[in-house]
Chains A and B, each alone.
Chain A
Amino acid sequence: MENLVLFLSSIRWQDAVDIILNSYILFRLYVLFRGTHVFRVLIGIALLWFSQRVAVALGLILTSWAIQGITAAAAFIIIVVFRNEIRSVLQAKNLKTILWGVPHQTVKTPIETIVDAAFELAGKKIGAIMVFPGMDDLDELIQGGISWDGLVSREMINSIFWHDNPVHDGAAIIEGNRIKKVGAVLPLSRRDDLPSSYGTRHRAAAGLAEMTDALVLVVSEERGSVVLAKGAEVRTVQNRDSLVRTLEEHIGSTKEQWGYKKKEKRELVIAALAALVLISAVWFSFTRGQERLVTFDIPVEYVNRNPATEIVDSSVNALQVGLSGSGTLIKSIRPDQVKVRLDLSKAAVGRNSFVITSGDIDLPPGVVLRKVKPSTVDVTLDIPGEKVLPVQVDWVGKLRKDLILTGAKIFPAKVKVKGGKTILDTLSTMYTEKVRLDQIEKSGSLKVNLALEPATLKIAADSSDSVTVDYFVKERASSLPAR
Chain B
Amino acid sequence: MRRFWPLISPVILFVMAAGMGGAEAQEKNDVPANVIEQKLTLVEATVCEKMKRSTPFNKAIVFSSGLEKVYCYTSFDPVPREMVIYHEWYRRDKLKAKVRLTLKPPRWSTFSSMRIRKSDQGPWRVNITDPEGKILRIVRFSITE
Q: A residues touching B (Cβ–Cβ < 8 Å)?
A: 390, 392-399, 404-408, 426-429, 431, 437, 476-477, 480
Contact = CB atoms under 8 A, between A and B. Distances in A.
A117 B144 CA distance: 122
A426 B121 CA distance: 21
B61 A480 contact: no
A394 B93 contact: no
A391 to B, nearest CB: 10
A392 B144 contact: no
A399 B62 contact: yes
B59 interface: yes
Given A396-B144, A396-B145, A427-B93, A408 B61 contact: yes
Given A427-B93, A480-B53, A405 B145 contact: no
A394 B123 contact: yes
Contacts of B125: 392, 429
Given A429-B92, A437-B144, 4 more contacts: A390-B138, A392-B123, A395-B123, A395-B144
The 10 closest A-B pairs by CB, nearest first: A395-B142, A405-B62, A398-B145, A480-B52, A404-B60, A392-B140, A395-B62, A394-B123, A392-B123, A405-B61
Contact of A431 (B53, B60, B123): B123
Given A390-B138, A399-B144, A480 B55 contact: yes
Contacts of A437: 62, 144
Interface in B97-124: 121-123
Nearest to A398: B145
Nearest to B53: A480
Contacts of B93: 426-429
A426 B94 CA distance: 10
A34 B144 CA distance: 91
A326 to B, nearest CB: 56
Nearest to B56: A480
Q: How large is the interface on B (under 10, 10 to 19, 20 to 34, 35 or more residues)?
A: 20 to 34
B64 A398 contact: yes
Contact of B60 (A397, A398, A405, A429): A405
A437 B143 CA distance: 12
A273 to B, nearest CB: 77
A394 B52 CA distance: 28
A404 B48 CA distance: 10
Given A406-B60, A426-B93, A480-B57, A398 B144 contact: yes
Given A399-B144, A426-B93, A428-B93, A477 B57 contact: yes
A168 to B, nearest CB: 120
Nearest to A471: B61
Contacts of B145: 396-398
A404 B61 CA distance: 8
Contacts of A477: 57-58
Contacts of A429: 92-93, 123, 125, 140
Contacts of A406: 59-61
Contacts of B59: 404, 406
Contacts of B142: 393-396
B102 to A, nearest CB: 25
Q: Which of B55, B92, B121 is the most central at the interface, judged by chain A CB atoms within 10 Å of its CB? A: B92
26 contacts: A390-B138, A392-B123, A392-B125, A393-B142, A394-B142, A395-B61, A395-B62, A395-B142, A395-B144, A396-B121, A396-B145, A398-B64, A398-B145, A399-B64, A404-B58, A404-B60, A404-B62, A406-B59, A406-B60, A406-B61, A428-B93, A429-B93, A431-B92, A476-B58, A480-B52, A480-B55
A16 to B, nearest CB: 62
Contacts of B62: 395, 399, 404-405, 437
Nearest to B135: A428
Contacts of B140: 392, 429
A434 B122 CA distance: 10
A394 B122 contact: yes
A406 B61 CA distance: 6
A428 B126 CA distance: 12
Contacts of B144: 395-399, 437
A183 to B, nearest CB: 116
B142 to A, nearest CB: 4
Contact of A407 (B61, B92, B121): B61
A125 B52 CA distance: 155
Contacts of A392: 123, 125, 140
A396 B123 CA distance: 9
Interface string B41-54: 00000000000110
Contacts of A480: 52-53, 55, 57
